[in-house]
Structure 1
C-alpha cells in the first residue's frame, strides 16, 4: 500500500479536504481505473480508508469513533466519489448500517449498539437486503426465516447486489417467518461470516460500478442467534425506527455518491473545454464556443440545485426533525433527483468532451457507465413516484 500520505484519524473538526487530501484522492483515482478494468475489489482503497477511521465515522466518540452525523459523512462520501465512485458506493453500504445504528442511538433506541461496537473494531458490515423479484424492498421478503427453537433464525434465500462481497465480516439480512400464517413476520438480524450457511456466486460482471463487487449471495439455512436478531415486524409498510433509519441513511448516502460523480464530471468537462480547440472557429479553445459554454452552465446549474438538497435532508436527520408521514417521500425524492441529475450532468460533460469520452480508458467514459447504476438502487424512479403519489392522494383502493 502506498503510504505517502500519513494515516489521519478523522474527527468532527476535520474538513473533507483534510480527511481526504488531494494526493490521497489522486491515488484512489488511479486505482479506480485499474479496479474497473480488472473487475476487482479495491483492497488498497479499503486499507487506506480503514487507517483513516472511515469504518468508524458514525461511531460515537465515547465508543471509539469520529462521532460524525449524516451531513458530515455525506460530504466525505461525495468527496471520495469524485475519485473512486465504486469505492464510495461499496463502503457506503457499511456506512448505511453504522449510520442506521447511530440514528437509532440518537433517538434512544439501543437495539443496534452492537453494530457501533463492532464498527469500532473495524468489522465490515454489508447489506443483504435486495432480492430478485422483490420490489417491496423492506416491506416483504422472499427469503425464508425459520425459527431455530432458541430465539434465533436460519435464513434461506437469494440476495442480490451484495456490495463488499469479498470482504464483509457481518451481513445484515432479513427474511419472512411464516410459522404463523395469519401473522407473518419480517425478521432482521446480522450474520457473521464465519458462521457459514452462505455462498457468494462471484458473478459481478457489469458495465459500471465494477469495483463494488456486489455479488449475488445465497443463504442456505444461514444461522443468526437470538442475540443478533434485532427486529420482528409485521409484513407491509412500517413506521419502525429501524426501517426509517435504513431508508434515511441509504437514500442520503447513495445520493451523496452521485453528487460526487456529478462534481467530477463538471470538472472534467471544464478541463476538456479549456484544452480542446476548434478548427471551425479558427483554432480557438472550445471554452469560447457558445454551445459548449451553455452546456457547462446547464450542468453547473443542475449540480448547484442538488448540493443543498442532500445537505438539508441529512441535516434534518441529524437534528431529529419530525417530518411525520412526509419523511419517506422526501427520502425517495432525494435519491431520484440526485441520481437523475447526476446522469444529466454526465451527459452534458460527455457532449463537451466528445468522442474521447467513448474510449474505455477515459475517466469520463467510466463515470458515464458508473452513473447508470443510480437507477437500480432502491427506491426506483417508478417506486418513488408511487410513494409520493400515495402520500399526496392516498393509497390505490
Structure 2
C-alpha cells in the first residue's frame, strides 16, 4: 500500500497528461493517451483491495491523488472519477460487510472500465426515481429503455452501471440497478458532446433500447424515494468526496497560475516592478489562497471518516452535499480571482486559466445542486417541511 504522504501518480506522468490537456480541449477529443497511461500505472485499480489484485489505496489517499490529477488535466480527472466512484462504491459496501459488488472490484482488477449511466433529462429525483424503464426478463435480468445524459468515458467504458424503474413485477415499483456490457447490443451513444468546458471527458448521451443487465450484475432493487439502503450512502459518499477533490484540484492549479502571472507581469506605472508587488493583486491572490486552503482539511476529514467507517448517521448527507457545494463554489471563486490577477491574456481560448474558467463551471451541474444541497441541510437543521 502506498504511504499516505507519497504520490501514487508520478510527477512525470502528470506532466505528460498536463501537456496534452490543451490539445484535447481544443480538438474536443477523448483522452485515450491519458487513460492508457493511467491504466498502466495501476490507477484504475486504486481503490481495489490488494487481495483482489488492486493498488489498495484508501479514500483519503485517492482524494489527494485526484486533486493532483485535476490540477494537471481537469477533464481527465473528472471522467476517471466516474470509474473510481464505482470502485469506491464497491469498496464502501465491502468494508461494511456487503459483497454485492465484489464482482465489480474483481472485474476492475481484470481491466474493465466502469461508467455511470444514472443521470437522466428531467429527473431531479436523481437516485430516488427514474424515467428509464427496467423491464424484467424472467431470469433475474433486466432490459433497460431510456436516455442517460452526461455519460463520462463514453468512448471507452466496457461496463455501464445504470438504473431504471420496474413497474411490472409483483412487488413493483422498484428501482433496479445493474450493469450492461459494451459488447452487447441495445444501446446507442450519441456524438453530442460539444460543450463549454470539460471537453475531453466526452460525456455523451446514451440511449438504452433494451440493453440487458444479466442477473449476475443486477445488484439492487430498491423502493423509489429516499432510501436508507447502504448503496445510496455509498454512491453519495464516493461521488461527493471525489468530485470535491477534482474541483479543489482545479482551484489549486488556478492559484499557481495566478501567482506565476503576478511575478511575470510588470507595471509601467510602477516603474517596471512586477505585479507581485502590487497591493491589490497581493490581496486578491491572498484571498484566493485563504479560500483554497479551507478545502483540503474538509476533504481529508470526510475521506478519512469513510475509511474509518465513522457513523455520522443522518448527518452524513448534509456533510457530503455541503462539501460538494463548498468545493465547486470555492473553485469558481479561486479561478475567478486568479484570472482577475492575471490580466487580459487569460481571456484567450488557448490560455490555461481561460480553460480552467470554462472547466470549473461544470461544477454547477453535478448533483447535489445548490438547491438540493440547501434543502438537505435545512432538513437536518430544522426538520422536514410541514405539509
Residue 379 of structure 2 corresponds to 390
* 1:256 aligned residue (229, 245, 258): 245
Cα distance in 1 for partners of 2:326, 2:39 equals: 31
Partner of 2:120: 131
Q: CA deviation at 1:321?
A: 0.5
2:190 aligns to what?
201
Alignment of 1:150-169 (within 5 A): 150-169=139-158
The aligned residue for residue 2 of structure 2 is 12
SS at match of 2:143: strand
TM-score by structure 1 length?
0.95
- The answer (yes or no) to whether the contact 2:136–2:169 under 8 Å persists in 1 is no
How far, CA to CA, are the matches of 1:230 and 1:82 in structure 2?
35
Stretches of structure 2 lacking an aligned partner (at least 5 in a row): none
Secondary structure at 2:210 match in 1:
strand
SS in 1 for 2:343: helix
Confirm or deny: 8 A CA contact 2:4 2:61 kept in the other structure: no
Give ranges in structure 1 of 5+ residues lacking alignment: 1-10
Look up the SS of the partner of 2:196 in the other structure.
coil
In structure 1, the residue matched to 2:85 is 96
Question: What is the number of equivalent residue pairs in this alignment?
Answer: 386
Match of 1:275 in 2: 264
How big is the shift at 1:183? 4.0
Distance in 1 separating the partners of 2:185 and 2:312: 41
> CA offsets per residue over residues 152-201 of structure 1, 9 Å max, x none?
11000000000000000000000001115884100000111112211100
- How is 1:280-291 mapped onto 2 (pairs within 5 angstroms)? 280-291=269-280
The alpha carbon displacement at 1:395 in A equals: 2.1
Aligned to 1:8: none
**Which of residues 43, 67, 70 in structure 2 aligns to 1:78?**
67
Corresponding position of 1:32:
21
**Is contact 1:78–1:257 with CA below 8 Å preserved after alignment?**
yes
- The CA distance in 2 between the partners of 1:51 and 1:348, in whole Å, is 37
Pairwise CA RMSD = 1.1
- 1-structure distance, mates of 2:367, 2:145: 22
Residue 4 of structure 1 aligns with which residue?
none
Displacement of 1:13: 2.8
Is 1:226 matched with 2:215? yes
**Displacement of 1:15:** 4.6
Cα deviation for residue 22 of structure 1 reads 2.5
SS in 1 for 2:139: coil
Instruction: Give distance in 2, aligned partners of 1:179 and 1:218.
Output: 21
In the TM superposition, what are the counterparts of 1:268-347 in structure 2 within 5 Å?
A: 268-347=257-336
SS in 1 for 2:72: coil
In structure 2, how many angstroms separate the alpha carbons of the residues matched to 1:172 and 1:321? 27
For each residue in 1:301-331, what CA deviation from the matched residue of structure 2 results, as whole angstroms up to 9, or x when unmatched? 0011111001111111111000101111111
| Cα distance in 2, alignment partners of residues 22 and 222 from structure 1 | 41
Aligned-residue offset at 1:55: 0.8
